[in-house]
Structure 1
Amino acid sequence: MLIQSILRGKGSHIISVRTDDCVASITRTLSQHRIGAVLVVEADGTVLGIVSERDIVRAMAGVGEPVMRMTAGQLMTRVLHTVTPISTVQDALQMMTDRRVRHLPVLADDGALAGMVSIGDLVKARIAEAEQEAEELKLYVATAG
């Protein structure tokens, strides 16, 4: 299965923040949309980084309460691991495992942001694929006799 199949199902709408948004605002956005990470995007659509729940927790452990006044630009992870719409789900899962990330921006061939997938999206897709394979095998066995 390809990443583009997941995006067709979930859509390509991206929840993002600006570099000057404070952590308090970011946490409200994460909570409101029930997501674990947001991309940090410039007004022209350029992706600068990502802020995840994990980034916020680590900053809280290191800085304490003042972290709530930090901005996305100060807190974001700048090194992005990305996939393309034609990447396989298996390759994306391997990248997440190897790089210890839970969210991957999806970039089109021209570098434009095409969406974002989470570990939950990928696991859901793998389960659906396994269930479909099991049904096909049952049908084959039932009709082969």
Structure 2
Amino acid sequence: MFVEAVMTTPVISIRPSTSVAEAARLMLAHRISGLPVVEGDGTLVGIVSEGDFLRRSELGTERKRSWWLEFLVSPGKVADEYVHAHGRKVEEVMTNGAVTISKGATLDEVVEMMSRRSIKRLPVVDNGKIVGIVARSDLLRPMARALSPGDTQATDDEQIRAAIQAELSGQSWGGGGLIRVHVDKGAVELTGTIFDERERRAAHVAAENVAGVKSVSDQLAWVEPMSGVVVLPEEISPKEISKAR
């Protein structure tokens, strides 16, 4: 899926000359945590977010340092912090050169960039002009649709078993064939051996995500790697599971 399918458009944006007060009012009115800053021709020049308003003189939260730390900081940096704490226009407090993504990017690329840069939203651009914005919340909608129960075609037991086995075989934690799958009228039973308690939950999730599965019964035996002791499912306590993690 591409970002163009989930992005929010049209975009609520502001000009560099917009007042900080107006930017704050827009964020509150629309319940958003950031605003793209654009020139009159639609060119993106920055972004202003709640984080840019944390160190403000009006709140009494401007940065304070002890005298010896203040001595080590350059006058230019202190001056820049003063502008952020007292500036009245968006261009004085915004983050310049916002991280952007193209409208043809995939959702995987969006998530990768958000994770790498630790950001919550990405302006979507086309030829340098902003055409939308994608936030973490925008990714929830396609996920929710995919997880919603729909009209799925009936699947027989052998197809279910084969699908689960294929999923397990494709995972590094899948046991290399040590996890066996039995299906009876949509009821799945997992048997065999695991060497890490976390593999138990992963196998359960892999099974319940296959269409046609009605229930999953876990009969996997855990082999403790250090001692070789075999622990059956009913013998495992929550404390042992915690230790395994």
Normalising by structure 1, report the TM-score: 0.78
Structure 1 CA distance for aligned equivalents of residues 144 and 103 of structure 2: 19
Closer/same/farther in 2, CA of residues 135 and 124 from structure 1, 3 Å limit: same
CA contact (8 A) 1:106 1:114 kept: yes
Structure with greater proportional helix content: 1
Q: Percent identity?
A: 30
Structure 2 CA distance for aligned equivalents of residues 91 and 26 of structure 1: 29
Larger Rg: 2
Deviation at 1:88, TM superposition (A): 1.3
Closer/same/farther in 2, CA of residues 32 and 94 from structure 1, 3 Å limit: same
Question: Which amino acid is the alignment partner of residue 90 of structure 1?
Answer: D
Deviation at 1:102, TM superposition (A): 0.8
Deviation at 1:17, TM superposition (A): 1.2
Task: Provide structure 2 residue ranges, at least 5 long, that are not aligned to the other structure.
Answer: 64-81, 158-245
Deviation at 1:46, TM superposition (A): 1.6
CA contact (8 A) 2:44 2:129 kept: no
Deviation at 1:95, TM superposition (A): 0.7
For residue 31 of structure 1, the aligned residue among 4, 11, 28 is 28
Indicate yes or no: 2:86 matched with 1:74: no
Normalising by structure 2, report the TM-score: 0.49
Task: Provide structure 1 residue ranges, at least 5 long, that are not aligned to the other structure.
Answer: none
1:99-134 deviation digits (Å, cap 9, x = unpaired): 0111101112x23221111111123333333x16x7
Structure 2 CA distance for aligned equivalents of residues 56 and 88 of structure 1: 31
CA contact (8 A) 1:24 1:68 kept: no
Structure 2 CA distance for aligned equivalents of residues 98 and 58 of structure 1: 25
Structure 2 CA distance for aligned equivalents of residues 128 and 54 of structure 1: 32
Indicate yes or no: 2:69 matched with 1:51: no
SS in 2 for 1:16: coil
Runs of 4+ in 1 over 3 A off after TM superposition: 58-61, 66-69
Q: Which residue of 1 aligns with 2:120?
A: 102
Question: Which amino acid is the alignment partner of residue 156 of structure 2?
Answer: A
Structure 2 CA distance for aligned equivalents of residues 77 and 125 of structure 1: 30
Structure with greater proportional strand content: 2
Closer/same/farther in 2, CA of residues 68 and 27 from structure 1, 3 Å limit: farther
Structure 2 CA distance for aligned equivalents of residues 95 and 127 of structure 1: 22
